Amino acid sequence: MKKELLIGTALVSTLGAASVAEAVTATMSGNHQTGVEFDSPTGGSDSRAQVNDNNFTVSLSETTDGGVTISSSFMLANEDAVDGDLDAGFSLAFTDGSKMDVLNAGNASGSHDISIPGSAGAEGVTVVTTNNAPTGLDFATGATVFGVEYHTASDFLADGLSMSFSASTDNGAAATSTYKNDGHLALGGTYVTDLGDSAVTVGFGISETEGATNGTSPSTEEGGIHFGISAVTGDLTVAVGFADGDSIDATEVVEVDGEVVAAGVKYVTGDLTFNVGVVSGTAQDGTFGTPGTDDDSYDKTSASVSYAVASGVTAILGYSNVDSAIEGSSSDTDGSAWYVGANMAF
């Protein structure tokens, strides 16, 4: 036992010395956002609450003698919001401009969805949890942590084109009555070009996920497609996107056939930034093995004004309004909300 302890002590000491002498490069970034939200639900009383959003990220990287950059990062979360934020994998950046993500790599389709402008505020309008209408272009991009994602260099096959390919597998555990994601295959791409005075970006992706339970399994697997386009002309950005596919809600044990359309505009003038966005999603959900027939719906309009007070400090005024329905019937768990706050980024 004494020998093992001595060897262990020597090993730890050696690693410690090596880490001091040959430490990787570490950088830190994050933000602190706080403000007040004013809620006006359709079927309830008005309320107000303080809203905080704090993030602290540590990024690590080092380059080998062969020119390959090895990097990873992790985020520190508030103690009351720990939900896997510390999960992290590795990224290998190669000399030809390509990159490989290993572990927690994600889904290549979701990596290329177009960003649609909307309110920059932290106001949130609550809808009932059984409303499964999608609200984002990446709603059907499931993956497990046991995966890889390869990103090509720029100008892959054509000038301005970059693509990603991803795959993941299961954790080896047996399926239970709860839906279990067994893996996925996906690809996505982004094409950038100039059209007159505008810089145009096109994003697209397709994903297929496999999963099962030891009881009744869904009649369709999770997966779908998305397409979006964004145009930047001077200080004006206009974007629109569409997604269609099937997703699985393992908590409610339902399969969802949905689609969503989103559009937004952003305009920057001096220290002011104006955002306006709309989202419209519909879905039919049903228990595993029984596709739904009635529509859930989610329609959101949002806008914000942001003012750069100082370097890294932004004041924000945001507004959102949501109209929703469950199984074809209007819901009173929606409404509108205002947000007034500030964000400090470093």
The single residue listed with the structure tokens 């919001």 is 81
How many angstroms separate the CA atoms of 29 and 42, rounded?
A: 39
Residues, the chain: 346
Q: What is the pLDDT of residue 252?
A: 75
Inside any domain, residue 6: no
Domain span including residue 132: 29-345
pLDDT tens digits for range 270-322? 999 999 999 999 999 988 888 888 889 999 999 999 999 999 999 999 999 99
Inside any domain, residue 16: no
Q: How many other CB atoms are found less than 10 A from the CB of residue 338?
A: 17
Inside any domain, residue 118: yes
How many angstroms separate the CA atoms of 52 and 341, rounded?
A: 9
* 135 CB burial (10 A radius; 0-12, 13-18, 19+): middle
Q: What is the pLDDT of residue 292?
A: 82
How many angstroms separate the CA atoms of 163 and 161, rounded?
A: 7
pLDDT tens digits for range 75-116? 876 544 445 445 678 899 999 999 999 988 999 999 999 999
Q: CA-based angle 325:331:337, to the nearest 5? A: 105
Number of domains present in the structure of the chain: 1
Q: What is the pLDDT of residue 286?
A: 87
pTM, rounded to two decimals: 0.83
Q: Torsion angle, CA of 101/103/108/112, rounded to 10 degrees?
A: -70
Inside any domain, residue 234: yes
* 93 CB burial (10 A radius; 0-12, 13-18, 19+): middle
Q: What is the pLDDT of residue 120?
A: 94
Mean pLDDT of 19-44: 84
Mean pLDDT of the chain: 87
SS3 112: helix
Q: What proportion of the chain, given as a percentage, has pLDDT over 70?
A: 90
Residue type, 292: G
Inside any domain, residue 127: yes
- What tokens were used for 137? 């272009």
How many angstroms separate the CA atoms of 334 and 301, rounded?
A: 12
Inside any domain, residue 218: yes
Inside any domain, residue 9: no
Q: What is the CATH number of the domain that holds 277?
A: 2.40.160.10
Inside any domain, residue 299: yes
pLDDT tens digits for range 243-268? 999 998 877 788 999 999 999 999 99
